[in-house]
Homo-oligomer: A and B are copies of this chain.
Amino acid sequence: MSIRLDTTVGALKLANPVLAASGTFGYGLDLLEFCPPESLGAIVTKGLSPRPRRGNPTPRIVETAAGMINAIGLQNVGVEAFCREALPELRARGAVVVVNVFGERMEEYLEVIGRCEGEDGLAGYELNVSCPNVTAGGMEFGHDPAPLERLTAMCRAATRRPLWVKLSPNAPDLVATARAALAGGADALTLINTMRAMAIDADARRPVLANGCGGLSGPAIKPIALRMVWEVHKALPGVPIVGIGGIETGRDVVEFLLAGASAVQIGTAIFRDPVAPLRIVAELESFCEEHEVAHVAELTGGLQWR
């Protein structure tokens, strides 16, 4: 049987539902010999700000049980360098590129989008309104429905490209923020970003991370991410969801699709295995073969409540 792996996230057609997540795949060109960006459904760039950012002091990462906490602080080369240095090669390769956007103020989101609007070969935007690391960096947008709706609407007005909003699992009311993003004109919701967490060095009596707190990712959070995807899908059926959180295998992807996602992103798994996204595509295809799923899109939302 030949399996159809293509899917759509809103109006955006993807060759397969497996994407590389923001912040875990650089600008798409670091792992060419393991995972060429054009082989994935899409790649999501490291979060881009109008100007380059240094990020947080070190230590920035710490391993936890089946997970890790990061407080990178959104270090990035800035949208200008991205457009000039990475985008041409991505475009030449035929990669589907989603730009992950963030800013400390609403205008900064618009600056990033404005700069990108001048470029061909970008598939869409993903607004990071949920980064738990930078106090001023999106926290309020992601946690409070009213400003989130305003931010989304402003960005919506600035582009006709697909606009995704990446939700924070730390938000007081996930479904309310999801509704706000949609009310603002989002085409799809990405969930989840990392979960606010902390590690302590008992000897030093200090937080391990220079930033104090950070965001938890990896298999540890998968059961929570899956629940959140399902919860948003149930509350807002028909809304395209990009699922993310601890995905390591093709079977994990199936679970997220069943819970309501149309596509998924692979984050921390890439750190363990540079070929993870491609391996996961292959595993997903095998799963579909074994279970006689002719088209992977059939799985989306296919969970039967008991």
- On A, residues with C-beta under 8 Å from B are 64-67, 69, 172-173, 195-200, 202-203, 205-207, 210, 212-213, 216, 218-224, 226-227, 230, 246, 251, 254-255, 258-259, 287, 291, 302-306
Beta-carbon contact of A206 and B67 below 8 Å: no
User: With the chains together, A306 CA to B205 CA distance in Å?
Assistant: 10
Beta-carbon contact of A65 and B251 below 8 Å: no
Cross-chain contact of A199 among B65, B202, B226, B305 (Cβ < 8 A): B226
Beta-carbon contact of A306 and B195 below 8 Å: no
Beta-carbon contact of B66 and A219 below 8 Å: yes
In the complex, residue of chain B having the shortest beta-carbon distance to the beta carbon of A256: B200
Beta-carbon contact of A67 and B220 below 8 Å: yes
Please state the number of chain copies in the assembly: 2
User: With the chains together, A67 CA to B226 CA distance in Å?
Assistant: 15
Residues of B within 8 A of A206 (CB): 303-306
Most chain B CB inside 10 Å of its own CB: which residue of A195, A200, A246, A255: A200
Beta-carbon contact of A226 and B255 below 8 Å: no
Cross-chain contact of A212 among B198, B223, B306 (Cβ < 8 A): B306
Beta-carbon contact of B202 and A223 below 8 Å: no
In the complex, residue of chain B having the shortest beta-carbon distance to the beta carbon of A59: B306
Beta-carbon contact of B210 and A226 below 8 Å: no
Residues of B within 8 A of A205 (CB): 258, 302-304
Smallest beta-carbon distance A271→chain B, Å: 15
Q: Which 3 pairs show the lowest CB-CB distances between chains A and B?
A: A172-B172, A65-B219, A197-B223
Beta-carbon contact of A230 and B66 below 8 Å: no
Cross-chain contact of A196 among B199, B200, B224, B305 (Cβ < 8 A): B224
User: With the chains together, A172 CA to B223 CA distance in Å?
Assistant: 19
Residues of B within 8 A of A66 (CB): 65-67, 219-220
Beta-carbon contact of A200 and B65 below 8 Å: no
Smallest beta-carbon distance A219→chain B, Å: 3
Beta-carbon contact of B203 and A227 below 8 Å: no
User: With the chains together, A52 CA to B213 CA distance in Å?
Assistant: 42
Beta-carbon contact of A223 and B69 below 8 Å: yes
Beta-carbon contact of B227 and A65 below 8 Å: no
Residues of B within 8 A of A196 (CB): 224, 227
Smallest beta-carbon distance A43→chain B, Å: 25
Beta-carbon contact of A303 and B67 below 8 Å: no
User: With the chains together, A195 CA to B207 CA distance in Å?
Assistant: 23
In the complex, residue of chain B having the shortest beta-carbon distance to the beta carbon of A250: B202
Residues of B within 8 A of A230 (CB): 198
